[in-house]
Amino acid sequence: MPLLRFDLIEGRTGAELKALLDAAHRAMLEAFKVPERDRYQLVHEHEPGHMIVEDTGLGIPRTDKVVVLHVTSRPRTRKQKEDFYRLLCEELRRSCGIAPSDVMVSIVENTDEDWSFGLGRAQFLTGEL
């Protein structure tokens, strides 16, 4: 159950946002092998100038198409994470024209007790999931 939060500079159309979210979901499905309907995505748009994404001295160019993706997830292997980074960039380039240099990802892991999908229960702990 990854939860994806996208921080973007405002200005994309509804169709562009849909393409971006669909591309990220395809990468998630392939890399993390989650079920098709395991899709939780939030978009936060920021005015130009309200989002600064530099390159930590790596010389990575950024544009106004920059995507900062925060992923909260149960533990994943190193290979799954590396596959996700690669697949995400491939999907975003192919579907949205977003350069890999405009994609930044941070993954934070938690455990089964940290999730409730509703109804006041922790479904991973109760065995519902």
Please identify every residue annotated as catalytic.
Answer: 2
* Residue 109 one-letter amino acid: E
Which pair of tokens denotes residue 19? 């393409």
Burial track 7-26 (b if 16+ CB lie within 10 A, e otherwise): bbbeebeeebbebbbebbbb
The dihedral through the CA atoms of 45, 31, 102, 60 has a sign that is positive
